[in-house]
Amino acid sequence: MPQQEMFDKIVEFGNTLHKSGCPPYKVEKFTQHYAKQHNVQVMLQALPTSINYQFPEDNNKVIMKRLAPASIDLSLLAQTIQRLRRPNGSTKQEPFRYPIWAVALANMSIPPAYLMLIGSTLEAIICSLFLGFMVWGCQRVLRGRRTIAVEFIAALLTGICVAGLSSQGLPIPVYALCIAAIVLFVPGLSIANSLECLAFNDLVSGTSLLGQSALTLIKLFIGIFMGVQVGEAIWGMSDSLTYTNDVPVWMHIAGLPLISIAIGIIFNAQPRDMLLGLPVAVLGMWGPYYLGFGSGWIVGTWLTTVIITLYGTWIAKKMNLTGSIYILQGIIILVPGSRVLVSASESVFEQSILPIPSIGLSALFMFSAIMAGQITAYSIYSPRIER
């Protein structure tokens, strides 16, 4: 194969990994391994919005690629990593996609599943179904260069609609319902990837991803705040219900597989990978409460993260893939991105949304425990690519 064609093949491999949501430091490792299989030496620096390739064997030729922020496509990520097993195979891959109706149902399922897990009124759960459909509609309309505004617009419309529903006398917790409707946009995976990058001393990528996550949270918060204010101006003031839990136990339990499957569909995970990731979803939900063994939920969060990361890494070794595919469901549920949003809302609106004291401080402790858990797990059992 001509040298330039080989370089293009390596660059395409790295760009596809980045596009599918692989953490930057893993993009570097996988791409260098792929180049080594083709007897090509490459040095690269992967960042959240760019990758720089340098080929020392060709007079230090440099290829710089400016890329859009990564979206999450677990099927594409799995297909790309499987190319490491057949380096001389075709780079053309048949994309795996769920039908549009399945994606719409998944978007509609996440808000009620979230409320079923944290507890709410049955009226709020029913309303959240329609809010989830509205948020999905925002994603369909705001595409291309308009994507940057989708979180803010969705949160703004959600706030207006929830204020209108509340003005009709429905017993709904306004701010909890708003957060449930847009919880899909809470950057749990970006926060998880940033913590993973920081754990491996990739400070540039880690801080960049944290910055992106903070901006997303700001757009969501200000959108909800403005939406509720505009809605109250249109529909009139109404009393917001404080935290109330009318959800029966069976609905609490059913909420977990529902949100896990919905997350898998939205992030385009294959059914087999969703099934293998279900145990970490269970751990992510209930692990912090039951694995503390009397030492508190911070220790429980640390131990849960260790188990989730070890399980994902072990399954990835068996399937010849990356642990991110199987860790995702548990980490998204475990990472307290929505807690930060709830904390900001409680501080501004001065009312309890969830029955968790000092919820903002608890989110900080959980971030720290998650990062410590990842460091511990990778020191015990590192991914195959690093051995």
* Each residue's pLDDT tens digit, 55-74: 888 788 888 888 887 778 88
Enumerate residues 6+ apart whose C-beta is below 8 A from 106. Answer: 98, 261, 262, 263, 265, 266
Tokens, residue 28: 């570097």
Nearest to 72 by CA among 19, 30, 146, 150: 19
pLDDT at 346: 46
Output the pLDDT for position 382.
66
126-135, 216-225, 287-296, 360-369 — which one is most confidently predicted on average? 126-135
Looking at the chain, how many residues does it have? Answer: 387
pLDDT band at 243 (very low <50, low <70, confident <90, very high): low
- The answer on pLDDT for 233 being more than 80 is yes
In the chain, domain spans: 3-84, 98-268, 269-386
**Would you say 305 and 369 are in contact if contact means Cβ atoms under 8 Å apart?**
yes
Q: How far apart are CA 49 and CA 54, in angstroms?
A: 17
Please state, as a whole number, how many other Cβ atoms lie within 10 Å of the Cβ of residue 153: 18
Half-sphere exposure of 117 (CA within 13 A, CB side): 22
d(CA 291, CA 297): 8
End-to-end CA distance of the chain: 29
Instruction: Report whether 63 contacts 49 (CB < 8 A).
Output: no
Spatial CA neighbour of 379 closest among 286, 303, 333, 310: 310
Structure tokens at 352: 């309890």
361: pLDDT strictly greater than 60 = no
